[in-house]
Each structure stands twice: as C-alpha cells, then as structure tokens.
Amino acid sequence: MIVNDAFELYTTVMGWHINNGLFQLMMGTGIILIPFAFIIGGNIIEARNNRDKDDIGVSFFNKTEMQLYVAFFVLLLCVNPMVNLSVSNVKAMDSTCAPGDGGSTPEVEENAYRNTGTTYDQVQELDLGADTIKIPVIWYVWDYVASSLSLSAKAALPCQTDIRRISTIVSTTKIEDMNLADEFGMFMRDCWRPSLNRYLHDKPPAYTMGSAPADDIEWAGSEVFLNGRQYYRHFRAEEGLTSLPYDALRDEAKATNATLADGKGYPFCDEWWMVPGDGLRDRLIDHFKIDHTDLASFWPEYVQAQIDNGVTPRPTYDDMLLKTILMTDIDTRKMVMGNNYPRSTWTDRASDGSAMASRGVAVITDIMSIGDRSKALVTQTAAPMLRAILLMVITFLIPIMLIASGYSLGAVVTIMLVKFSIYFWIFLFAVAAWLDNYLLAAWSGVTDGDLSGWIIFNSNYSQGENMDIAVSALNFITRWMHILLPILFTSLLTTVGINAGGLSNDALSGPGLREAGEAGKSAPRDAGKFGGK
C-alpha cells in the first residue's frame, strides 16, 4: 500500500487498526448478523402482504435469495478484514524537487513505517504494537488503485520553485538569537537611524545613490550609508561590543584602555556591519541560513544552485535575502515606525506616554504583518493533513456504514467513489499549488528559477507598494481552490455513486431481477417454439 506522505502513512495504519477493532467488537456482539435478520424479516412481511396468498413461499424465496447472496459477499469482501498487511509494507511516496530544477520530474523517495525521517517517528503513541493489520479484499485493491492513480497524476506535474513557501518563510522570519537581535537593535539605534536622519536632512541629489535601488536607505545594510563617509563611517557604537574586541587605535576616544572597556570594542558602523566573519552582516546571514530552522532548509542549496547556473553572485544574493528578511521582520518594523530601541520595551524603561505609543505601534505593525501569504501557505499545509484525517475516519467507519446499509451493494459503490475522490484531492491540491506558484513567478518576474526579481518584488509587496491587490486576490483564490475544488469533485462523484448504487440495487432486487428470472424460465419454451417453426 502506498500513501502520499508520512502523516498519511500513520493515519492510514491507525484507520485500519481501528477498523479491525470495530469489526471484532461487532462480530463478538453479533451486530454483523442484524442486516441478515432484517432482510429475512422484511421479505417475510412483504410476502405476506402480497395479494397472491397462495404463493407466499415462492415470493419470499425469490426476494430473499439474491439479497442474501449480495449481503454475504459484501460482508465477506468489503467488511471482513482478511488480507494481512505488514505495516512495514505501507510506503510514503515523498516527491521532492531539487532547488533550481524547474520543469523537471520530481524525485520520489519511499519511506517506511517508523522510518520516515520525520518527527512523527518519535511519537510513541503512534506505535500500535502490532506488526500486521488486516484489510478487506475490496479495499486492499481499491485503495491501492486509487492512491496509485492520484500519486501518478501528481507526479506528472513539472517541478517548480516553491515561491509560496519561500515567500512565507522569509516574510515571517525573526531573529531567534536574542543576543544577536539585541545587537541588531543597537545597530539600528546607533547607526541606521542617525544616518537616515542625516540623509533626510541633507537631501542629496538622486544620482548620489549610484546603482543602489530606490529603497536602499530603508534597511540596515544600505550601500549609500556604507559608502558615504558622513554616514556609517561617521557614526559608531555607543555601547561596547563583545563581538568586536577593543582596538586601541580605534577605540581610545571611547575608552582609554582595554581594561576600562572590559575588552569590548566601539567600532564605526561600516566596520560593525561589514568586517568579515565578526561583522553583523555575516553573523546575521550565518544565523538565518545555518541556525534558523526554516531558512536553513533551502537557503544554502538554492544559493549554490544560483551560483552553479551563473544567475546571481553569492554575496549579492545573500544581501538580497537578508534585506528582505530584515525589512519584513516585525521587530525591525517596530523600531523603524516607533523610532525606539526594543530593549527599552523589554525592560519597561519608557514613560507611560511613550510606552503607550510603543504598544500602539506594536499593534499596528503586528496587524500589518498578518498577510494573506501566510494564510495561503497554512491552507496548503493543512489541506493534505485534513485529507488524510478524512480517509482515516472513512476507513474505520466502513463496517458501521455497510452494516447500517444492510450490506447494500449501492453503499459499497458510493463509498468506493467517495474514497477515490478524496484520494484524488492530492492531485487537485498539487494543481492549485502549481497554479499559485506559476502566477506568482509570472507577476514577480521570476525566470529560470532565478528568485532575485522576486526578492525585490516581495520586499516591495511587504510594504504594500507593488501589486498588493493582485497578489492578495491570488492568495484569496489559492486558499479557496484548496477548499472548493475538492468539495466540488467529491460532490460530483458522490452523486454518481448514489445513482450507480441505486441502479445496482434495482438490478439485483427490483423488477429487473424478476423480469430476468421470468425471461430465463420462458427461454427453453420459446426456443422450442422457434425450432418447431
């Protein structure tokens, strides 16, 4: 048996485990025999109410025989778990696309139960304590066919850069190291804010920005501030830094010796940001692409793919990603809008009026940070999990539903089509995600897997300056595609299943069966007459 991912692997095993337990319970209590009693009792009553009182036995037998056959085979093939399946043979088919492999076929990797490489393996409650589960014959075959078709259809879609996931991760990333976050706040207070104030006061001509983008002065690593002697070269750290030790030639104006400075340095802002290794820029980049949980999963590999393809030099690309992260960081935007240092909020040093203003700014920036981007990714992440849970629930409710239907063949057909439709949701989700990324790439100018155009676009969008209405509309559409497409598809197949099930029941127990029986009885007589003529 094959499934889509690690979560579905465990829900599938759990579903059949519960299914086996419910079947054993109903078999032990005799509930599985109730439909047979209703079939016999109902047909006796119907036969006695028939006008032809002299033929009650024949009428009862004709009505009951085929219904009992159908009920027996439904019980045997669709309810009774009789096929042993080792949980180690349930495979999760994880499809992945390497960074920069746009248009290629996804790589598929098989992961087994308790060995999926995810944190689900660590949860002891998911260890069911049994090496095998049992599955009815029909569902063993049907689930395999439905899952195989769905996963094959999903694999037919070409690889693409997951712009939605990267966009959300970048736009919701925060500096997780508190010491590094505190130092970055110091830099914003001692370097960026004074430099921006001087720039706004001087109002230099536009040509002085050179090749820097229009929003260059809005972030800490501004080229204009780094290259201008009146900016970062003029201002320096007002508090001693352990990251850049005391330098007598540089720091004598702040502290006459290293002992008084406690070994801490007071670098100028350009050195504080750019010095290799110990500079704030390099430490922030290392933090995001190595230490940060989410960013570390795609930053190094994708940047290396960019270098291999000759798309963007590494320093430029790192700076672009760092700029986007810092410009969309909630705490950074609070500092920019509130013109304060976050430590004052942490230690509650501010006066009542300024504290209230800071809280107001925090509320505003928090509201601004809640973008549709995150909601769309949440929907994309939650939709397959909801699908797996629905399949699990349907799986362990199969015995109850079929017993309640009186082992109806129509109910079997309906459940089969409903399960198939839910299995096929994974393809519909993949189509919705593909369309979402395709349109995001088209609107942001991403070509050949190069995200550099998207980085600038995303940075502007986070400030509400570029195509925010169009992207918000796409985010709305994406979320509803993950909801409406599956509901519509399942509704259509459910209607087909109900109609097909009704026809099956009519064919087996209705007038059609009686007419077929009468035709079969008269066939020899009619053939004799025809031969005589």
Which range is least confidently modeled, 77-86, 233-242, 332-341? 332-341
CA atoms within 13 A on the CB side of 304: 9
Average pLDDT over residues 457-481: 63
pLDDT band at 516 (very low <50, low <70, confident <90, very high): very low
What is the band of 312 on the pLDDT scale with cuts at 50, 70, 90? low
Q: How far is CA 63 from CA 48, 51, 158, 501, in A?
A: 12, 15, 55, 18
DSSP state string for 387-408 = HHHHHHHHHHHHHHHHHHTTS-
SS3 159: coil
Euclidean distance between CA atoms 228 and 223, whole angstroms: 8
With both helix axes pointing from N to C terminus, report the angle between 409-423 and 468-509 in degrees, rounded to the nearest 10. 160
Task: Report how far residue 335's alpha carbon sits from residue 357's, in angstroms, rounded to the nearest whole number.
Answer: 12
In sequence order, what are the residues at sequence separation of 6 or more whose Cβ sits closer than 8 angstroms to the Cβ of residue 149? 423, 424
pLDDT of 364 above 50:
no
* pLDDT recorded at residue 49: 72
The residue with greater pLDDT, 44 or 333, is 44
Pick from 14-23, 193-202, 319-328, 341-350: least confident = 341-350
Length of the chain: 533
List, for residues 4-13, the tens digit of each pLDDT value: 888 898 899 8
Instruction: List 241's β-bridge partners, or say none.
Output: 265
The answer on pLDDT for 463 being more than 60 is no
Residue 212 CA neighbour count, 13 Å, CB half: 21
Question: 84 - beta bridge partners?
Answer: 134
Show the tokens assigned to 135: 């599955």
Confidence (pLDDT) at 510: 53
Least confident of 40-54, 332-346, 381-395: 332-346
Please answer whether residues 85 and 134 qualify as being in contact, where contact means their C-beta atoms are separated by less than 8 angstroms: yes
Mean pLDDT computed over every residue of the chain: 76
The pTM of the full predicted model, rounded to 2 decimals, is: 0.74
- Cα–Cα dist 195/226, whole Å: 10
pLDDT for 480 beyond 70: yes
Residue 216: CB atoms within 10 Å: 17
Angle at 418 between CA 69 and CA 38, to 5 degrees: 30
Neighbours of 130 (CB within 10 A): 12
Do the beta carbons of residue 337 and residue 362 sit within 8 Å?
Answer: no
For the CA atoms of the chain, what is the radius of gyration?
Answer: 34
64: which 2 tokens?
Answer: 């009951």
Terminus-to-terminus CA distance in the chain, angstroms?
Answer: 60
Scan for tokens 């960026």, then name that residue: 192
Three-class SS of residue 97?
A: coil
**How far is it, in rounded angstroms, from Cα 18 to Cα 23?**
9
Let me know: does 418 contact 493? Beta carbons within 8 Å: yes
What whole-number distance in Å separates Cα of residue 60 and Cα of residue 62?
6
pLDDT at residue 395 in the model: 94
CA angle 488, 494, 499 (to 5 degrees): 130
User: Can you give the pLDDT at residue 94?
Assistant: 78
Residues 418, 409: Cα–Cα separation, whole Å = 14
Minimum mean pLDDT among 47-51, 174-178, 223-227: which range? 47-51
**394 vs 354: which has the higher pLDDT:** 394
Tell me which amino acid residue 13 is. V
Whether 445 and 453 have beta carbons less than 8 Å apart is answered as: yes
Q: Where are the alpha helices (DSSP H) in 30-136?
A: 34-48, 56-74
